[in-house]
Amino acid sequence: MRFGGGRPAFAAAATVLALAWLAAIGEAQATSANTDVTDLWWDPTDGGWGMELTNTGTFVYGTLFVYGPDRQPTWMAGEMTKVDGELTRFSGPLYVTTGTYYGGFSLKPFTAREAGTMSFTLNDAYTGTLRYTVDGVVVNKVVQRQPLTYDDFGGTYRATITATSFGCKSFLLNGSSLDSLSVKIVQNGSQMTQTWTYLGNGNVCTYSGTFTQLGRMGKFDARYSCTTGEIGTALLTEMTNAKGMFNTRLQINSTTYGCTSNGEMQGIVPRT
C-alpha cells in the first residue's frame, strides 16, 4: 500500500531519486547492527546514580557513576559486545577505576581492575535491563533513556518511505512499497502536526497528535486524514534528527483500507 491512497505508478526518475536519498541518509536511529543504545540511562525511581552507553556496531562502552559500600562516588566501566544470536543483548567485563585528583597532580596513578561483568538488554527502543556484578555483589535494574529536552523536528523535508503492508481488504494493496514525498513538520512542545505530500500523485495526508521523547529517541502518536478520504492512525517511533535530516520507524493503520503498514522514513532538508 502507498499511504495517501491507492498504488500510483511513479516515474522512473522519482524512484531513482528516492533510492539515492535512502543510500545517502541510511538509518541514523540504528548502528550497523541494531537500534542505537547510545544515550544517558537511569531508573527514575532511584536517583543519585546513572549510566551512559556509547554504541558503535556490535560494541557498547558503558560508564556507571554510582556509590560504593563506603558511600563514596565510584566510577565503573563496562566493555560489552553483542551476544551471538540475540539482537539486543550486550555483555562483557566490568572495571572499577580510580584516578588522579581533578584539581591537579596526585601521587596516586590511574588504576583499572576487572571486578565483575556487565550486561545490557534493550527491551524496546526506550527501555532496557541492566545487570552487573562487582566483587560478588549482583545488581539488576530496569532502566530507561533519560529525558533532557525535546529535539526540534520543525521544517520541510524531502523524504522517502519504505514499507510493507498486510491485512488489507484488497489483496492488491498488500506487499512492499517505496514512496517519495514532501514532509512539513510543525512542532509546539508535545504537540506535532505532519503534512505529507506525495510527489507521485499529489495526494496530501495530515497527521496530528502527541510527541514524546526519552533521551535521543522521540515518539509521535497521531491520527491522520487524506485528501483521498482515507483516515487512520499512525505511530512513529525511534524518531531522531540531526541538522537538516530526520529518521523514524513507523506503523500506519488505515481504517479505510484495513491495512497495517510497517516501515521506515528518512528525510532531508533540500539544499537551496
Does 4 reside within a domain? no
For the chain, 272 residues long, give each residue's pLDDT as a single digit of tens: 555 544 332 222 233 233 333 333 344 456 677 899 999 999 999 988 999 999 999 999 999 999 988 888 899 999 999 998 777 899 999 999 888 777 776 666 788 999 999 999 999 999 999 999 999 999 999 999 999 999 999 999 999 999 999 999 999 999 999 999 999 999 999 999 999 999 989 999 999 999 999 999 999 999 999 999 999 999 999 999 988 999 999 999 999 999 999 999 999 999 87
Does 188 reside within a domain? yes
Looking at the structure, tell me whether residues 110 and 51 fall in a common domain: yes
Does 7 reside within a domain? no
Looking at the structure, tell me whether residues 126 and 208 fall in a common domain: no
Predicted model pTM: 0.83
Looking at the structure, tell me whether residues 54 and 109 fall in a common domain: yes
Q: What is the pLDDT at residue 21?
A: 34
Q: What is the pLDDT at residue 18?
A: 33
The torsion defined by the Cα of 221, 224, 259 and 25, in degrees rounded to 10, comes to -70
Looking at the structure, tell me whether residues 91 and 171 fall in a common domain: no
Q: What is the pLDDT at residue 110?
A: 80
Q: What is the pLDDT at residue 108?
A: 67
Q: Note whether 50 and 40 are within 8 A (CB).
A: yes
Q: Note whether 94 and 133 are within 8 A (CB).
A: yes
Does 137 reside within a domain? yes
Does 77 reside within a domain? yes
Looking at the structure, tell me whether residues 153 and 139 fall in a common domain: no
The CA distance from 229 to 203, in Å, is 10
Q: Domain boundary at 117, 145, 173, which? A: 145
Q: Are strands 39-42 and 50-56 parallel, antiparallel or unpaired?
A: antiparallel
Q: What is the pLDDT at residue 109?
A: 74
Q: What is the pLDDT at residue 9?
A: 27
Looking at the structure, tell me whether residues 155 and 22 fall in a common domain: yes
The CA distance from 62 to 32, in Å, is 18
Does 49 reside within a domain? yes
Looking at the structure, tell me whether residues 175 and 123 fall in a common domain: no
The CA distance from 164 to 204, in Å, is 20
Looking at the structure, tell me whether residues 116 and 68 fall in a common domain: yes
C-alpha grid cell for residue 103?
Answer: 584539581
Q: Domain boundary at 145, 167, 189, which? A: 145
Q: Note whether 7 and 112 are within 8 A (CB).
A: no
The CA distance from 180 to 32, in Å, is 24
Q: What is the pLDDT at residue 196?
A: 98
Looking at the structure, tell me whether residues 132 and 159 fall in a common domain: no
C-alpha grid cell for residue 230?
Answer: 482515507
Q: What is the pLDDT at residue 156?
A: 96
Domain that holds residue 121: 39-145
Q: Note whether 51 and 42 are within 8 A (CB).
A: yes
Q: Is the dihedral of CA 34, 40, 45, 48 positive or negative?
A: positive
DSSP assignment of 110-170, as one string? -EEEEEEEEEEEESSSSEEEEEEEETTEEEEEEEEEPP-------EEEEEEEEEEEES-SS
C-alpha grid cell for residue 125?
Answer: 527502543
Number of domains in the chain: 2
End-to-end distance of the chain based on CA atoms, in angstroms? 32
Q: Domain boundary at 89, 112, 145, which? A: 145
Q: What is the pLDDT at residue 119?
A: 98
C-alpha grid cell for residue 69?
Answer: 559500600
Looking at the structure, tell me whether residues 111 and 202 fall in a common domain: no
Looking at the structure, tell me whether residues 242 and 176 fall in a common domain: yes
- Contacts of residue 74, Cβ cutoff 8 Å, sequence gap at least 6: 65, 66, 67, 68, 96
The CA distance from 31 to 29, in Å, is 7
Q: Note whether 121 and 192 are within 8 A (CB).
A: no
